[in-house]
């Protein structure tokens, strides 16, 4: 039960995933002609016009029949040439920019569509994970509530068993030094096998047990017994059988607890109410309840036997 509670106190939850971010490409910048380019071209046009003007004046002085009209026409031609060059260059730059811009937009639209699709799938899975975690958390809380109730009952039974054992010991049949599991189980082996007939005396159980402890023939510490169970199979037979039974019972209880807590339905309050009712009603519907009933019956029978022995010791009187 402690192992199960430890697992419940450190539950596993699924983790949600973060959304993808758009991996956009930066939009291209227009690198065509700007105002500075036009100003530069205008300055070039002025320079060309001045050069042509000087050429016209120079030829006029040389009596070439160029005239003012020729100078004006030459200036206009230079403007048309420079302006046309800039216009055609601008058209080429704009066309290149538009092509790059549409490619980038097409790519970004595709990325956005795919990212939105992926994020919708992530959101759907995250919602499933959140729902699973919430249900898992509710089941864990219900399991812990049940185990707390069973633990309380188990503690009560343990107290009853200890009280029953103390009642036996108060009969002073066993000397206080030997009132523990290992000596008592060894005494059972000695008496049942006929090796000893009494507890006291040179050939009694006390003396034989002390001798075997000194000779390391038997294991006298319970921790060593658990770690070396196969070594006590023959020379501490009763102890071996009881430890094996105890381990089997613990395994069955552990399996039963897992099965019981994995089949929980209803709210925590409903589960707690059903569990209390089952325990109080001496129900045998699961492994834990069977164990409680068995141990309770065992304690009751022992108490009855002790009461009968007291009655006999008093010579058949009730007081």
Per-residue HEC secondary structure of 93-133 comes to HHHHHHHHHHHHHHHHHHHHHHHHHHHHHHHHHHHHHHHHH
Distance CA 33, CA 88 (A): 10
The answer to whether residues 130 and 238 belong to one domain is: no
pLDDT at 317 > cutoff 80: no
Greater confidence (187 vs 302) lies with 187
**Of the candidates 74, 105, 137, which is a domain's last residue?**
137
* 242/273 same-domain check: yes
Please report whether residue 229 resides in a domain.
yes
For residue range 214-269, list pLDDT tens digits in order: 998 888 888 888 888 888 888 898 999 988 888 887 777 777 767 666 666 666 67
| C-alpha closest to that of 13 among 130, 121, 128, 126 | 130
C-alpha–C-alpha distance, residues 162 and 164, integer Å: 5
Residues 37 and 128 in one domain: yes
pLDDT of res. 206: 96
Which of 93-107, 199-213, 234-248, 280-294 shows the highest mean pLDDT? 199-213
pLDDT of the residue at 106: 84
Tokens of 249: 């019972």
DSSP 178: G
pLDDT (0 to 100) of residue 293? 65
> Do both 132 and 277 map to the same domain?
no
**293 contacts 282 by C-beta, under 8 angstroms:** yes
Last residue of a domain, one of 83, 114, 137: 137
- Same domain? 48 vs 105: yes
* 165 and 94 fall within a common domain: no
Range of the domain at 154: 147-313
292 and 261 in a common domain: yes
> Taking 80 as the threshold, does the pLDDT of residue 25 lie above it?
no
Instruction: Tell whether 182 and 91 lie within a shared domain.
Output: no
Confidence class for position 299, pLDDT limits 50, 70, 90: low
Q: State the pLDDT at residue 214.
A: 92
- Which among 219, 226, 182, 174 is positioned nearest to 200, based on CA atoms? 174
Mean pLDDT of 297-314: 66
* Pair 71, 123 in one domain: yes
Report if residue 11 sits inside a domain: no
Mean pLDDT to the nearest integer, 11-25: 69
Residue 58 main-chain phi, psi, to 5 deg: -60, -40
Number of domains in the chain: 2
Mean pLDDT for the chain overall: 74
Length of the chain: 319
For residues 119 and 197, state if they share a domain.
no
């Amino acid at each position: 039960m402690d192992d199960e509670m430890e697992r419940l106190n450190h539950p596993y939850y699924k983790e949600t995933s973060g959304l993808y971010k758009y991996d956009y490409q930066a939009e291209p910048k227009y690198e065509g002609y700007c105002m500075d380019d036009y100003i530069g071209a205008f300055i070039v046009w002025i320079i060309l016009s001045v050069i042509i003007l000087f050429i016209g004046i120079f030829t006029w002085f040389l009596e070439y029949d160029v005239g003012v009209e020729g100078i004006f026409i030459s200036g206009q031609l230079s403007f048309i040439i420079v302006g046309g060059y800039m216009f055609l260059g601008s058209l080429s730059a704009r066309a290149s920019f538009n092509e790059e811009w549409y490619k980038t937009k097409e790519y970004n639209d595709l990325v956005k569509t795919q990212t939105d699709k992926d994020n919708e799938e992530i959101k759907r899975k995250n919602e499933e994970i959140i729902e699973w975690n919430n249900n898992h958390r509710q089941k864990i809380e219900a399991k812990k509530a049940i185990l707390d109730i069973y633990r309380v009952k188990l503690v009560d039974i343990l107290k009853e068993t200890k009280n029953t054992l103390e009642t036996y010991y108060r009969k002073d049949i066993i000397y206080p030094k030997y009132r523990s599991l290992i000596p008592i189980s060894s005494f059972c082996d000695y008496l049942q096998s006929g090796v000893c007939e009494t507890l006291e005396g040179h050939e009694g159980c006390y003396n034989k047990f002390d001798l075997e402890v000194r000779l390391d023939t038997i294991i006298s510490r319970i921790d060593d017994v658990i770690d070396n169970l196969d070594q006590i199979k023959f020379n501490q037979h009763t102890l071996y059988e009881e430890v094996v039974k105890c381990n089997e019972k613990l395994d069955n209880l552990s399996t039963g607890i897992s099965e019981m807590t994995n089949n929980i339905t209803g709210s925590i309050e409903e589960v707690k109410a059903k569990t209390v009712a089952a325990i109080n009603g001496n129900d045998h519907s699961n492994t834990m309840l069977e164990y409680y009933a068995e141990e309770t019956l065992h304690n009751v029978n022992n108490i009855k036997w002790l009461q009968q022995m007291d009655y006999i010791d008093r010579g058949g009187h009730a007081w």
